[in-house]
Structure 1
Amino acid sequence: MLTRLEVDGFKNLLGLKVDFGPFTCIAGENGTGKSNVFDVIQFLSLLSSRSLIEAASEVRGTDRERSGDPRELFWNGFGPEERRMGFAAEMIVPKVVEDDFGREAEATSTYLRYELELGFQSPTKADKIGRLTLLRESLRHINLGDAPIGSASTTARRTSATPS
């Protein structure tokens, strides 16, 4: 179960931090990034079984289609030399899992934090397209008492609409 998501530099998501509970509703005006939150979750999920470039090519681009151009995943306010995206996902995983060989295994920790930072290297004379680069990746356990689980709090902007 995903309990927290942090995103910076993915499409229009800058400094987003959301805590998820057992039931979380994402609502807001058109064009505010609701679908992009789900695109991030899809992208991180795809990375568990696909290469970086394959996962990037399967996520919707800015034109709402799958373009295969990883540059479309980066916030477009960065200069050409500054393209970076950062992600963190906290999750609770089952105690009993299946390993890569199909065998049952017992997890030593069930509350995990995954962090990922990606960049885009500008094209060079030899590489006219440029390339998506892995800048940093980590997976670590979290002590269960150190983070709110099931909290309704979020540091993402909230708006409320009242009927007219």
Structure 2
Amino acid sequence: MLSTVAVHGYRSLRDIVLPLSRLTVLTGANGTGKSSVYRALRLLSDCGRGEIVAALAREGGLQSALWAGTGTKKRTVELKLGYAADDFGYLVDLGLPQMAGIDSKFHRDPEIKREVVFAGPVPRPNTTLVRRTGPLAQACADTGRGFDDLTRALPTYHSVLAEFAHPGQSPELAAVRDRLRGWRFYDGFRVDVGAPARRAGVGTRSPVLADDGHNLAAAVQTILEAGFEDLPAAVAEAFDGATVATSVSDGYFDVELHQPGVLRPLRSAELSDGTLRFLLWATALCSPQPPSLMVLNEPETSLHPDLARPLAGLVRAAAERTQVFVVTHSARLLEFLGADAAVLELVKESGQTLVAGQGLLDAPAWHWGSR
């Protein structure tokens, strides 16, 4: 389980360290930085796939993603992300190249300045297992004294996780890479007329709902055949005793919602926006193959307030199988999550995102080190 997430220099997150629990809820007013925390977690996950540089480029480049507030004279361009967990932790430090090459047009591409894989709750020299500085990557020697070179020519746009995470040779790198790759993000779902979830599709066993919901029917059937009772129970609670099922025609799967008093089931194309959106969230949360971390961004959006209770029940049930991080505006959802959730409220002071009530002695221990 993750215990800490740390971000430095990303948008309004000048320097923030978040404690994580089994179920963590991030709340706060509009503009306080909740979306920045969500995006920072996605960037961390991109490190596991070796896509961090491309992900930043899609955000407009490193310069557009950096902290742009006042109160610092530091001129070093740096964006730092990291986490600590109950096995290994990881941090990455990104900046701009000092020399991209003669006549190169990639001089504004971010490059990886440092990476550290460590054991324990805090990155420190004596807990470091793998370290990377520029093109030099090293692993802790088998003797426990010093470091052995992995390479002296690692491209600064490649992560050490993507290049050297071989389970047999570097199990700690493989563990970090697989953890990051396995994080699952759901940031709302399309429910318009042309939404992927409204179309019948070829069905194969699907223990994970796609982030666009295109395999909704197959994922629902997988859950039902696995014997998970949370989904049928949540649908019955949300829609007055309704039941969810699937139909199959020539290998194409579609969702059916059977409602008391209605002579025929409603298919996905006929469902109301709110009903379809609830089914998508419920299916995502009932996955028979839970990730190490599931991140939900404002799951209450466009749902009727009466659906907050069954939605909260699904979130609590998911948190019994995996670690869940929820970003929400909804006081009603927060109320129904109750004591099961560790609540972090964000506030903004002088353009900087802070955790309300978190003093220097309250924040989890964290140490970035230096380049």
Which residue of 72, 82, 92 maps to 2:76? 82
Contact 1:6 1:16 in 2 (8 A): yes
Unmatched 5+ residue regions in structure 1? 62-66, 93-110, 144-151, 160-164
Partner secondary structure for residue 40 of structure 1: helix
AA at the equivalent of 2:103: A
Q: Does residue 9 of structure 1 match 2:9?
A: yes
- Deviation, structure 1 residue 84: 0.7
Alignment partner, residue 91 of structure 1: 85
AA at the equivalent of 1:119: G
| Aligned counterparts of 2:74 and 2:116: Cα–Cα separation in 1 | 26
| Aligned counterparts of 1:5 and 1:33: Cα–Cα separation in 2 | 15
Question: Identity across aligned pairs (percent)?
Answer: 21
Equivalences for 1:1-164 in 2 at 5 Å? 1-58=1-58, 61=59, 67=60, 69-77=61-69, 81-92=75-86, 111-121=87-97, 126-127=103-104, 129-142=107-120, 152=342, 156-158=354-356
TM-score by length of 2: 0.30
AA at the equivalent of 1:158: A
Partner secondary structure for residue 10 of structure 2: coil
| Aligned counterparts of 1:133 and 1:81: Cα–Cα separation in 2 | 17
Taking only aligned residues, the RMSD between alpha carbons, in angstroms, comes to: 3.2
Partner secondary structure for residue 27 of structure 1: strand
- Deviation, structure 1 residue 134: 1.3
Unmatched 5+ residue regions in structure 2? 122-341, 347-353, 358-371
Q: Deviations over 1:116-162 (max 9, x none)?
A: 1111247888345423121110101117xxxxxxxx59794217xxx
Contact 2:26 2:343 in 1 (8 A): no
Q: Deviations over 1:20-75 (max 9, x none)?
A: 101111011111111110101000101111333223235xx3xxxxx4x2322211
| Aligned counterparts of 1:80 and 1:53: Cα–Cα separation in 2 | 23
The structure with higher relative contact order (CA 8 Å, sep 6+) is 1
1 or 2, which has the higher helix percentage? Answer: 2
CA spacing shift, 1:135–1:28, aligned 2, 3 Å: same
TM-score by length of 1: 0.63
Q: Deviations over 1:83-141 (max 9, x none)?
A: 2112220124xxxxxxxxxxxxxxxxxx1111111112478883454231211101011
| Aligned counterparts of 2:42 and 2:13: Cα–Cα separation in 1 | 15
AA at the equivalent of 2:89: R
Contact 2:2 2:83 in 1 (8 A): yes
AA at the equivalent of 1:18: L
| Aligned counterparts of 1:88 and 1:36: Cα–Cα separation in 2 | 14
Query: Whose radius of gyration is greater, 1 or 2?
Result: 2
